[in-house]
């Protein structure tokens, strides 16, 4: 019997591997009916937590996720914000990092937990990692501090016994259960015998009212440099119709080639109002150190924004969010270089 004071969690099911079970007739993997979540994850019944579910009408493989789907998730959370203590989003792993980053920007002054999780093996398979991931995510979404405020008030990814800041995390492994990493920010909790929260690194609960701005502008490009990239390729990307922003994936500490044609194309794009952020290709840690080498100094002089240690998933969704929200290039540039939701360490 659920007490009125028990925490209430809304699980939003969007699709992905986690929601699959084997159809007894066809033996194929099909999405299961989320209203029967307690049948699939009976251990949830042991908690004094009320769990309700909402499922996308057509659950999707997350490689089909689009900004409209992020908006649908955000709006569902917004509609139910006052009624629930926390939100768990079940999502495919392929683009979970993009969704987590996008949601983190859409919600300003989030004061409740939004935890994304999924699995590498379907729930309907005996060795699934999905059951633990759901249970951990629900427990974390319901966790309170002694004063009754939530332990977590940000968008996170909970996967394989770790809790990560959503906009610092990306999918790093298609084989292992620990599919995600957050190289430039410590984990927010380690889930062992006890859940050990890293309170120093968790966002503080804001006092201001939460607001949602779910408008995204998709006119962005990711331009990854490689030795031999041609003028034609760079030009065709930078001269794409209606392009508003570019994540320039550079080498090491933010370096590029210094060819005159390359710097000229970048400079012309900036003059046309395109906002460019410099993000390192190094996935294992570290970031852009503008001015360490001559080439990053030159990029900075052109007006390219240093992305410091931001990851690509976060940079591209931040550009989409800022251009969806702001009209003025100067504002977009100023906000891009700042930490809005703990996604970047500005030095």
Query: CA distances (Å), 108 to each of 105, 233, 321, 328, in order?
Result: 7, 37, 12, 20
Judged by beta carbon, residue 28 or residue 63, the one nearer ligand ASP is: 63
Q: Which of 35, 61, 264, 294 binds ligand ASP (CB under 6 A)?
A: 61
Smallest distance from the beta carbon of 164 to ligand ASP, in angstroms?
16
Smallest distance from the beta carbon of 123 to ligand ASP, in angstroms?
11
Please count the CA atoms within 13 angstroms of the CA of 270 that sit on its side-chain side.
20
Binding to ligand ASP by CB under 6 A, coded x per residue (else -) over 319-338, reads --------------------
The first and second tokens of residue 329, run together, are 């290039």
Reported as type and span, the H/E element at residue 220 is strand 220-224
Smallest distance from the beta carbon of 15 to ligand ASP, in angstroms?
6
Smallest distance from the beta carbon of 96 to ligand ASP, in angstroms?
7
Active site residue 17: yes
Judged by beta carbon, residue 180 or residue 323, the one nearer ligand ASP is: 180
Binding to ligand ASP by CB under 6 A, coded x per residue (else -) over 89-128, reads ---xxx-----------------------x-x--------
Query: CA distances (Å), 287 to each of 193, 231, 252, 254, in order?
Result: 34, 26, 7, 7
Catalytic residue among 14, 17, 128, 169: 17
Nearest to 189 by CA among 198, 176, 177, 200: 198
Q: What is the C-alpha to C-alpha distance for residues 312 and 183, in angstroms, rounded to an integer?
A: 13
Q: Which of 10, 17, 51, 157 binds ligand ASP (CB under 6 A)?
A: 17
Binding residues with ligand ASP: total (CB under 6 A)? 11
SS3 147: coil
Q: Which residues pair with 157 in a beta bridge?
A: 116, 164
The first and second tokens of residue 64, run together, are 């089909």
Q: Which residues are catalytic?
A: 17
Residues of this chain that interact with ligand ASP (CB under 6 A) are: 15-17, 61-63, 92-94, 118, 120
């Amino acid at each position: 019997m659920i007490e009125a004071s028990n925490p209430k969690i809304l699980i939003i099911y969007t699709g992905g591997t986690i929601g699959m079970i084997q159809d007894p007739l066809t033996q194929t993997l099909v999405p299961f009916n989320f209203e029967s979540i307690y049948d699939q994850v009976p251990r949830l019944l042991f908690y004094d937590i009320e769990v309700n579910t909402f499922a996308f009408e057509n659950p999707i493989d997350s490689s089909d996720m689009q900004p409209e789907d992020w908006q649908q998730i955000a709006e569902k959370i917004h509609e139910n914000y006052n009624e629930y203590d926390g939100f768990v989003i079940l999502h495919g792993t392929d683009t979970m990092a993009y969704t987590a980053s996008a949601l983190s920007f859409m919600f300003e002054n989030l004061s409740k937990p939004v935890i994304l999780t999924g699995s590498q093996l379907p729930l309907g398979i005996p060795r699934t990692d999905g059951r633990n991931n759901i249970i951990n995510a629900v427990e974390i979404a319901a966790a309170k501090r002694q004063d009754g405020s939530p332990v977590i008030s940000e968008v996170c990814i909970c996967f394989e016994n770790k809790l990560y800041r959503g906009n610092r995390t990306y999918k790093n492994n298609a084989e292992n259960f620990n599919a995600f990493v957050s190289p430039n920010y410590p984990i927010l909790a380690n889930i062992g015998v006890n859940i050990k929260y890293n309170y120093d690194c968790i966002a503080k609960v804001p006092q201001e009212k939460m607001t949602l701005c779910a408008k995204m502008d998709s006119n962005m490009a990711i331009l990854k440099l490689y030795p031999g990239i041609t003028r034609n390729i760079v030009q065709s990307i930078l001269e794409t119709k209606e392009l508003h922003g570019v994540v320039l994936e550079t080498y090491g500490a933010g370096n590029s080639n210094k060819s005159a044609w390359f710097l000229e194309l970048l400079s012309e794009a900036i003059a046309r109002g395109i906002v460019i952020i410099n993000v390192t290709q190094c996935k294992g840690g570290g970031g852009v150190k503008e001015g360490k080498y001559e080439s990053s100094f030159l990029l900075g002089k052109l007006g390219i924004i240093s992305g410091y240690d931001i990851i690509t998933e976060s940079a591209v969704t931040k550009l989409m969010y800022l251009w969806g929200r702001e009209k003025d290039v100067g504002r977009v540039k100023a906000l891009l270089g700042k930490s809005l939701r703990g996604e970047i360490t500005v030095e």
